[in-house]
A and B are shown apart, each in its own frame.
Chain A
C-alpha cells in the first residue's frame, strides 16, 4: 500500500511534466494541422540549451528555463517561417515526412555538437526531498510539476484571453474566415509553432533536471507526446494535463508491477490502443 502510494505520487509528478511535453505538440497539431514528428527533438534541444546555460554560465535551471524557452521560440519561429510555411497546406503525409526529416537533422546535429554522452542538470538542491504522508517527494520534481502546471494554465489564458490567442483559435477553426478578419497566417503560424517549440524547450529543461539527456531521447518523447495528445484531445490544454497524468501513472505502475524496461511498451501500447478504440481522442476532439 505504501509502495503504491509512492508510485502514484511519482506518477502524478511525472505526469505534469509529460503534459507539458505534449502541450506544444497538441497546439501545433490542432492549429496548423502539422503532425510534428520532430517534437521530441525540439524537447531534446531545449534540454541542451538549459544544460549549457547551467553548466557553462552557472545559471540556476529554473532561471535558465525562460531563456531556453525564448531561444526555442526564436528557433521554432524561424523553422516555421522558413520551411514549414512552404508546405503547411500540403497533404498531411508531406508534413509527416518533412518533420521526420527535421527530426533526423536535429538528432544528428545534436550528436555532432553535443556528443552522445548522457548529461544531467543537477543543481545543489537536486537531492533534496520531503515526506508527504509517508511518500518521499523529491523537491525538483515538485518544482518541475509546478512549473508545468503554471505554463499549461498560462497557455490556456493566452489562448482564451488575448488577441493573439483569439487569432490562433480562429485560424484553427476556419483559416479563410480568419483571413477575412485580418489574420495574417504567415506570422501567426510562425508564432504558434514558436509557442509549441518554446513549450517543448520548457519541457526539455525540466526533463534535464529530473532525468538524463542524450541526442537520442527525441523519438521516445515524441511517442509519449502523441499518446498524451491522443488521450487528451487537441481542443483544450487542461485536458492535456489529464492525459499526461494518465500516462505518468500508467508508466509508474508498469515500472512497479512488470518492470522498468517495459514503460515504452505501455506508452506506445496506449497510443495504439486509444487510436484503435477511439480515433477521435478519449477526452476532447482531435484534428
Chain B
C-alpha cells in the first residue's frame, strides 16, 4: 500500500472511532475509554520495552504521577483540567529524566527490579504527602458526560500510536532498535546510547502520565494503591508482548483484546476476575512466550503441536 492510501484508511478508521459516542450505548463508550487508555499505556511501554528492549516495571509511576498531578492541581489549587494534565506530564518527564539517568545504566533483571523498587518508593512517598491526600487519596470534581473523555482518550491513543509509527521509521527509532539488539555495538557505531535511552524513557513517561490524568478525572478519584499499581504495569507488558513488541499496531491489538477479555471476565465472574488475570499470565507465559503473532504463524504450519513445541523450548 502506498502512503496516501494508508493515510485515507487511517482517516476513515479514526472518523468511525470518533463517531462511536454519538451512535453506541453508554456501556460501549465506557469500555472504549478504558480500552483506549490501555492502548496508550501499552504503546508507551512499547517505546521503552518493545523498541529499546528495557523491560520497565515502573511505568505505573508515570501513570500515577500524571493522575496525581492532575488531581492535586484541580483539587488543591483549583486549576483547570488542562493545567492539571500539563503538571502531571511535567512531573513524569522530570522523574523520567532524573531517575532514568542512573537507572537506565542497569541491564536486564537489575533494571526490572530497580524500576519495581521505584514503584514501591513512590507509593510510600505519596501515601505520606498531605497535599496528595495521604493514604485516603483525593476526590476530583465531577464532570458529567463520557463523550469528552472518550474523544480525549482517542486523541491521546492516536497521538501515541503516531509517535510510535514515527519512531519505527526514524533515525532515532533505529538507534533504539540498535540498543535493543546490541548496546555495545550501538555505542561503537556512534549512537549516544544514554541520550537515546533517556529520551525513550521520557517519551514513555509523558504519554503514560497523560493517560493517568485523563483516567483520574474520568473516575474522579485517585489513591496511592490504585495509581501506582504494579498490576497495571504488568498488564501493559502482557498487552505488548502478546500483540508484538517493537511493532506499531501489535500493542493496539493486544490492548484491545486483553481489555475485552478482562471486561467480559469482570462482568461474568466478578470475584474471580483478579485470579483469572493471574491464571491468564501463567498460562500465556507457559504456552505462548513469544506472543500471539508467533503462535498464529506457527499454528498454520504445525497446528496444535506449536504449543507443545513452545513448552519444550524452555523447560528442563
Contacts and interface: CB of A to CB of B under 8 A. Distances in A.
Contact of A261 (B102, B118, B127, B289): B127
- Identify which of B106, B127, B277, B314 gathers the most chain A CB atoms within 10 Å of its CB: B314
B279 A265 contact: no
B120 A86 contact: no
B202 interface: no
Contacts of A219: 120, 230
A108 to B, nearest CB: 4
B312 to A, nearest CB: 9
A287 B109 contact: yes
A23 to B, nearest CB: 18
Interface string A256-278: 00010110110111011001100
Contact of B316 (A103, A107, A186): A186
A88 B315 contact: yes
A98 B282 CA distance: 5
Contacts of B123: 264
> Chain B contact residues: over half helix, strand or loop, or mixed?
helix
A105 B279 contact: yes
B79 interface: no
Nearest to B134: A261
A106 B277 CA distance: 12
B228 to A, nearest CB: 11
B289 A90 contact: yes
Interface majority SS (helix, strand, loop, mixed), chain A: helix
Interface in B107-165: 108-110, 112-114, 116-118, 120-121, 123-125, 127-128
B274 interface: yes
A104 B275 contact: yes
Given A109-B275, A275-B117, A189 B316 contact: yes
Interface residues of B, number: 46
Contacts of B230: 100, 219
A83 B282 contact: yes
Nearest to A276: B102
A6 interface: no
A108 B286 contact: no
B314 A90 contact: yes
B180 to A, nearest CB: 13
Nearest to B99: A272
A86 B121 contact: no
Name the residue among B120, B123, B279 with the largest chain A CB count within 10 angstroms. Answer: B120
Nearest to A266: B124
B114 A272 contact: yes
B103 interface: yes
A108 B285 contact: no
Interface string A99-139: 01111111111011000000000000000000000000000
Contacts of A97: 234, 237-238, 241, 281, 285
Interface of B: 55, 57, 102-103, 105-106, 108-110, 112-114, 116-118, 120-121, 123-125, 127-128, 230-231, 234, 237-238, 241, 271-272, 274-275, 277-282, 285-286, 289, 311, 313-316
25 contacts: A35-B109, A86-B311, A87-B285, A88-B314, A88-B316, A89-B316, A92-B109, A92-B112, A97-B237, A98-B285, A98-B286, A102-B282, A107-B274, A108-B278, A112-B271, A112-B272, A189-B316, A226-B116, A264-B120, A265-B124, A265-B125, A272-B103, A275-B103, A275-B113, A279-B106
Given A37-B116, A85-B316, A105-B282, 19 more contacts: A86-B315, A88-B314, A90-B289, A93-B112, A94-B314, A96-B112, A97-B238, A101-B234, A102-B278, A108-B274, A108-B275, A112-B272, A186-B316, A223-B120, A226-B117, A262-B124, A264-B123, A268-B118, A272-B114
